[in-house]
Structure 1
Amino acid sequence: MVAAGHSGDPARWRETFDGLMARIAGPFRRVEPRRRAHAFVLGLLADLPRKNCWTIAGHAGDRGAGGMQHLLRKAMWNTDAVRDDIRTIAVERLGNTDAILVVDETGDVKKGVCSVGTQRQYSGTAGRIEYTQVGVFLTCTTAAGHTLIDRELYLPASWTCDPARCGVAGLPRTRCSRRRPCWPSA
């Protein structure tokens, strides 16, 4: 099995992949989410026409998307520690004086207003104003390759100025206290 866009010896690729996944195993408290994360990342790297919990679960041999959705929504693992481990690996493998950091924001169109950070705003993804959730991503890029090294969900003032809404969504107080100016509605 070789990831999309990668060529060479599949056995060597898989050995390297397994070794890298072993390096980020520490933040997973239990073996089940660790294994599920391994399968999830393999699905992300696979040549699938669409990538969502259903298609990735199918690629992993699961009967439904519940396990992948559980990994992303409820399983206990330290996402910041995984990010830090990936950043360390990226610096080891990609870091050099020619490295550049790329900041990108991506809007994901949402059907409702309950997803954290969603509000009506312009989305380049949709090409118009829609209910959108915006993520900001930091990538390290070199001639040798690139990798995501940080991420943050953008919280607009419609969220940060509404502590009750943040509480219902389960956001920590420290996250919602990073306020931008809250202007009264016109």
Structure 2
Amino acid sequence: MIDDLADATWDRELDDLFLRIGHRFGRADLRRRLRDYVRALLGPVGRNNGWQLAEHAGHRTPDGLQRLLNRATWNADDVRDDLQTYVADKVGEADGVLILDDTGFIKKGATSAGGQRQYSGTARRTENCHIGVFAAYATIRARALVDRELYLPKSWTVDRERCRAAKIPDERAFATKPELARAMVLRALASPLADLLGDRGCRLRPGVALSPDAGRSRGRLRARVPKSQPVPHFGRIDHLFSQAPDEAWEQRSCGDGAKGPRVYDWAAVQLPVIEDFDGERPTHHRWALARRSTSRPD
């Protein structure tokens, strides 16, 4: 009975979501394929390829789902905006935080947009893969992905014919992963999520550098910095951590990779108080978090 109630709750929530975004798909057949596609992605499908998703949805071939993704007219950014409103309504809390990170997806071949040999943090090695930058909204009780950008290496953006063959718009220029993350932060600050970001504001793993105005507008921003980053009165930040005693370091995993848990040593240090962008003293303490290799602690 509990499983039946859970299934009924899922069905109601999915129907609510479909009603919110259905107007972005102009025809009834596209809306039906959208429902089938999303339900298949959430179902017990062994691999998320066209044939297996179509089979789970009860389609004879994957042609209908492929038309939805490749040739049908609808705007993914409009759906993203609807999703952000949905997340704000359903799980928004005053203590919300926006988390940004890049993720690699291993994929063979050289024709899929953005694919090439590049370093993947997920695999912890250089592989033929795609890199995506993602934004998630999280509170104490829930979390959800709310934005995404595909990283296109320069080898792609300088070859317009290759881009056109992969259906990449001509206006898409090269952007670094921090620049893509910055654009997502600014979009979030202009969305219904903006009023649901607490004092922690944003955690920006790819090392995003925002303008002072953007930084002050909502919450606090967390950024990854190089180990040579200077700290007032203390010198380089890696020198600061080199003085930490052994007991300051704690071994933890930051998630599973291709070879199992990615385990590192971690330590945190409170930074000295410095003035904010506008010359005012900050209202929050600043901390730096460092990780180091367990096999090469130097």
Q: Report the CA distance between 1:60 and its aligned residue.
A: 0.9
Letter of the structure 2 residue corresponding to residue 41 of structure 1: V
Q: Report the CA distance between 1:119 and its aligned residue.
A: 1.6
Contact between 2:37 and 2:65, CA under 8 Å: does it hold in 1?
Answer: yes
Partner of 2:13: 16
SS at match of 1:44: helix
Letter of the structure 2 residue corresponding to residue 159 of structure 1: W
The one of 98, 118, 121 equivalent to 1:121 is 118
Structure 2 residue 27 is matched with structure 1 residue 27 = no
Structure 2 residue 53 is matched with structure 1 residue 56 = yes
Partner of 1:167: 164
Q: Report the CA distance between 1:76 and its aligned residue.
A: 1.4
Closer/same/farther in 2, CA of residues 141 and 39 from structure 1, 3 Å limit: same
Partner of 2:141: 144
Contact between 1:161 and 1:179, CA under 8 Å: does it hold in 2?
Answer: no
Q: Which has the larger radius of gyration?
A: 2
Q: Report the CA distance between 1:37 and its aligned residue.
A: 0.9
Which digits, 9 at most, give the CA deviation of each residue in 1:123-160, with x for residues without a partner? 23444322211111111122332222111110111112
Unaligned runs of 5+ in 1: 181-186
Partner of 1:46: 43
Letter of the structure 1 residue corresponding to residue 56 of structure 2: H
Judge which range, 85-94 or 47-56, deviates more. Answer: 47-56
Partner of 1:132: 129
Letter of the structure 2 residue corresponding to residue 154 of structure 1: Y
- For residues 146 and 116 of structure 2, the distance between their equivalents in structure 1, rounded to whole angstroms, comes to 26
Closer/same/farther in 2, CA of residues 50 and 114 from structure 1, 3 Å limit: closer
Higher RCO (CA-CA < 8 Å; seq separation 6+): 1
- For residues 97 and 17 of structure 1, the distance between their equivalents in structure 2, rounded to whole angstroms, comes to 25
Which digits, 9 at most, give the CA deviation of each residue in 1:89-148, with x for residues without a partner? 101111112222222322222222111111211223444322211111111122332222
Q: Report the CA distance between 1:26 and its aligned residue.
A: 1.2
Q: Report the CA distance between 1:173 and its aligned residue.
A: 2.0
- For residues 53 and 158 of structure 1, the distance between their equivalents in structure 2, rounded to whole angstroms, comes to 28
Contact between 2:106 and 2:129, CA under 8 Å: does it hold in 1?
Answer: yes
Normalising to structure 2: TM-score of the pair? 0.53
Judge which range, 79-88 or 48-57, deviates more. Answer: 48-57
- For residues 170 and 55 of structure 1, the distance between their equivalents in structure 2, rounded to whole angstroms, comes to 24
Letter of the structure 2 residue corresponding to residue 93 of structure 1: K
Letter of the structure 2 residue corresponding to residue 102 of structure 1: I
Judge which range, 163-172 or 138-147, deviates more. Answer: 163-172
Q: Report the CA distance between 1:85 and its aligned residue.
A: 0.3
Letter of the structure 1 residue corresponding to residue 16 of structure 2: G
- For residues 61 and 108 of structure 1, the distance between their equivalents in structure 2, rounded to whole angstroms, comes to 28
Kindly, what percent of the aligned residue pairs are identical?
44
- For residues 8 and 138 of structure 1, the distance between their equivalents in structure 2, rounded to whole angstroms, comes to 31
Q: Report the CA distance between 1:83 and its aligned residue.
A: 0.7
Q: Report the CA distance between 1:179 and its aligned residue.
A: 5.4
Q: Report the CA distance between 1:9 and its aligned residue.
A: 4.3
Which digits, 9 at most, give the CA deviation of each residue in 1:24-55, with x for residues without a partner? 11111211111111111111222333333222
Unaligned runs of 5+ in 2: 177-298
Aligned Cα root-mean-square deviation (Å): 2.3
Judge which range, 45-54 or 142-151, deviates more. Answer: 45-54
How many positions carry a matched residue from both structures? Answer: 175
Closer/same/farther in 2, CA of residues 179 and 125 from structure 1, 3 Å limit: closer
Contact between 2:135 and 2:146, CA under 8 Å: does it hold in 1?
Answer: yes
- For residues 94 and 75 of structure 2, the distance between their equivalents in structure 1, rounded to whole angstroms, comes to 30
Partner of 2:274: none
Letter of the structure 2 residue corresponding to residue 71 of structure 1: L
Normalising to structure 1: TM-score of the pair? 0.82
Closer/same/farther in 2, CA of residues 12 and 121 from structure 1, 3 Å limit: closer
